[in-house]
């Protein structure tokens, strides 16, 4: 069975679509998503430049209670935000400048940090899927022809057993 919204459907278990109408709402979504996350989770963020991937990650960082502001680093590809509350660290990867080459990706040693962290990757499509069969894929789209510049449609797709029973719909509350 294929989930209706899933672009990569073979292991898609659950999918939820949300309307997010402002940067504040995007950050709130990150905060509520954070409640679902635990060490070892990989979150992939897909969306064009300015879609709101970093804004969502900022909310994730707040929700996880990690140190340091989540930003769009110009030169840094991955930044580790340690937990201030004894929870998992947030590893924030912006793979925009990484070529498709897995070598550069491997240099980041994400497989080493993943078991004890929450790894969030912007621009990771085609680069990080090998890290884990279990992934939460967050796809952020602008609505074509929408007159509201601030409106986004966010699709959450859980891949693998980790997300099979997850209550993704809880994030829309």
Ligand X SMILES: Nc1ncnc2c1ncn2[C@@H]1O[C@H](COP(=O)(O)OP(=O)(O)O)[C@@H](O)[C@H]1O
Q: Decide: is 150 part of the binding site for ligand X (CB under 6 A).
A: yes
Residue nearer to ligand X on the CB measure, 118 or 138? 138
Q: Decide: is 47 part of the binding site for ligand X (CB under 6 A).
A: yes
Nearest-angstrom CA–CA distance, 16 and 148: 22
CB of 152 to ligand X, least distance (A): 4
Candidates 34, 57, 58; CA nearest to 44 is: 57
Which residue is it, tokens 């990757």? 121
Three-state secondary-structure class, residue 50: coil
Residue nearer to ligand X on the CB measure, 13 or 95? 95
CB of 93 to ligand X, least distance (A): 12
> Footprint of ligand X on residues 66-125 (CB under 6 A)?
72, 122
Q: Decide: is 83 part of the binding site for Mg ion (CB under 5 A).
A: no
- CB neighbour list of residue 135: distance below 8 Å, 6 or more residues apart: 42, 43, 44, 129, 158, 159, 160, 163
Question: What is the binding site for ligand X (CB under 6 A)?
Answer: 20-23, 26, 47, 49-55, 72, 122, 150, 152
């Amino acid at each position: 069975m294929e989930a209706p919204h899933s672009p990569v459907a073979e292991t898609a278990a659950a999918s939820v679509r949300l309307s997010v109408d402002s940067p504040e709402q995007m950050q709130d979504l990150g905060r509520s998503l954070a409640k679902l996350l635990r060490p070892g989770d990989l979150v992939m963020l897909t969306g064009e430049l300015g879609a709101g991937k970093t804004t969502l990650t900022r909310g994730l960082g707040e929700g996880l209670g990690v140190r340091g502001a989540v930003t769009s680093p110009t030169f840094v590809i991955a930044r580790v935000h340690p937990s201030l509350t004894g929870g998992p660290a947030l590893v924030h990867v912006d793979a925009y400048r990484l070529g498709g080459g897995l070598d550069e990706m491997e240099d980041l040693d994400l497989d080493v940090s993943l078991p004890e962290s929450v790894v969030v990757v912007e621009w990771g499509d085609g680069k990080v899927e090998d890290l884990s069969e279990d992934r939460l894929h967050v796809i952020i789209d602008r609505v074509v022809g929408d007159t509201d510049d601030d409106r986004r449609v966010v699709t959450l797709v859980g891949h693998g057993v980790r997300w099979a029973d997850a209550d993704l719909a809880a994030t829309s509350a």
